[in-house]
Amino acid sequence: EPKLRPLHPASGPMGYLCAPFHIPVTSLGVGHSDSRVHAPNENILLENFYKSTAHMAVLLEELAGSQDKTD
């Protein structure tokens, strides 16, 4: 019976490495329809870069706060 192993090529084997140790893992990225992912001229929009860094900061703050709630 086939097993589902979702893996985006750019995400690496995080799931395989973290699952045996029950470590939650996620991956975030930024791109647009013409990003040309992993091509020599791969690109992102500067506005999206700034938005993604703000998003990551909020996510990290939320995750840090969630530790207080579980202790």
The pLDDT tens digits for 37-60 are 888 999 999 999 999 999 999 999
CA 45, chain centre distance (Å): 18
pTM over 0.75: no
Q: How far apart are CA 26 and CA 19, in angstroms?
A: 12
Q: What is the pLDDT of residue 51?
A: 96
- pLDDT > 70 in the chain, percent: 77
Contact between residue 42 and residue 34 where contact means Cβ atoms under 8 Å apart: no
- For position 37, what pLDDT does the model report? 81
